[in-house]
Amino acid sequence: MWKDIKEILIESKELQGRVRELGEEISRDYAGREPHLIGVLKGAVVFMADLSRYMAIPVSFDFMAVSSYGASTKTSGVVRILKDLEESIEGKDIIIVEDIIDSGLTLHYLYNNLSSRRPASLEICTLLDKPERREVEVPVKYCGFAIPDRFVVGYGLDFAQKYRNLPYIGVLKDEIFK
């Protein structure tokens, strides 16, 4: 699997340092409150687990699974909810935890969907952002890294359900996904 990586874009140590900073920032912003983290499966699981351990405030979790990629490297633009929340978010301080924002289509849909459920507040925290790919703007409050328009894997991000366990963000060799 490691032989499939062309380049390491963000090293493990740099990832952990930035995730710690995000956890500390959220802890300050939500002091005296208990945010409810909604992880977007499957990609955000690793990031959300680490992020929550760096938060010095009580938090609760839930997860949603949405899909717009399948086994492709490009979004289809059609968003499907594969797993919805297990409880109401009405009146709660919600933070959507996402692995990567690309076109913005999936997160725009998800943000609007959750907003309609009447949370007390709704923010977005993403590990990675590809601003040059944006088709729809989304209100990101917390961002780990802005990255170039490259297809990346690792730290929860996958290609065809592989590479999620890499401890860094890497770029696959072209022949792997062509």
Q: Which domain holds residue 151?
A: 2-177
- The CATH number covering residue 126 comes to 3.40.50.2020
102 is catalytic: yes
More confident residue, 171 or 69: 171
| Nearby residues of 41 by Cβ (< 8 Å), 6 or more positions away | 63, 64, 65, 66, 82, 83
Q: Which of 50, 93, 102, 129 is catalytic?
A: 102
Pairwise CA distance, residues 178 & 98, whole Å: 26
Domain total in the chain: 1
pLDDT tens digits for 115-169?
999 999 999 999 999 999 899 999 999 999 999 999 999 999 999 899 999 999 9
pLDDT tens digits for 4-63?
999 999 999 999 999 999 999 999 999 999 999 999 999 999 999 999 999 999 999 999
